[in-house]
Amino acid sequence: MDALPPSLASDIADIRRRLDVLERSNKLLSAAIIGGALRVLDIAEDPVALLGALPTSLYDPVATNGLRVYSAGGTGIAPLLSVNQLNGLAFPWLSTEWKTTTDSVVVTSGTFATQWTSTTELVFAKEILFRVRLAVDASTTAEAQVLVTAVDGTGGGVMGNVLSLSAATDAVREFRLGHSQTIGGGPLMFSLQVRRVTGAGNVTVYHPHPLHHGGIGAVTGGWV
């Protein structure tokens, strides 16, 4: 019988020591990550996806929990997808178009009247952004506001602040707001309303830019 190697005793002692450390170390008690995030990396160790606690970014300005999927190159560029518990779908932005309720977008009424509407079947984000060009004649002032209602125009109310328009102005105005509508709710209609406040001139409401839904970031009380 071959002689035992002289290191056998020390090898056995080392194995016993390793087993003892393994038995006393922390064990995976569940398949859950509490208060952290799961990172998925590609072969170059660039991030592919992040699930759980998301760090802040341009598209998720507030730290929250969710899922972020990156394109090739990792975190240095915009993600392909970002969904979080605070804002719903943050990126990419999805847009809903506007349509006119009449053939005319020239306003002379002293009461608020809907000029453009945009509908969404499902609320998939809690922040919105759009821009619209508004022109007011000399010696005339006006106001603009945004409503959210059911698609038949019932219920709801004014979103954010009311925009005051000075005489002899012509500019593109921006509306950005974090709203309180329920994710998964809908359908909803967003209405752009304008009225003349003083004077006898016209208030021209041009075709609004698309209504964006997503993680807009730097939201305000409505009109900027």
Consecutive H or E run containing 117 = strand 113-120
CATH number of 94-223: 2.60.120.680
Q: Residue 114 contacts by C-beta under 8 Å, 6 or more apart in sequence?
A: 101, 147, 153, 191, 192, 193
Full pLDDT tens readout for the chain, 224 residues: 566 677 777 888 888 888 888 888 777 666 778 888 998 988 888 889 999 998 887 766 778 899 999 877 666 666 788 888 888 888 888 888 887 766 568 999 999 999 999 999 988 888 999 999 999 999 999 999 999 999 999 998 999 999 999 999 999 999 999 888 888 888 999 999 999 999 999 999 999 989 998 887 767 789 98
| Length of the chain, in residues | 224
The residues spanned by each domain of the chain are 1-92, 94-223
pTM over 0.85: no
> Do the beta carbons of residue 189 and residue 169 sit within 8 Å?
no
Burial class (CB in 10 A: 0-12, 13-18, 19+), 218: exposed
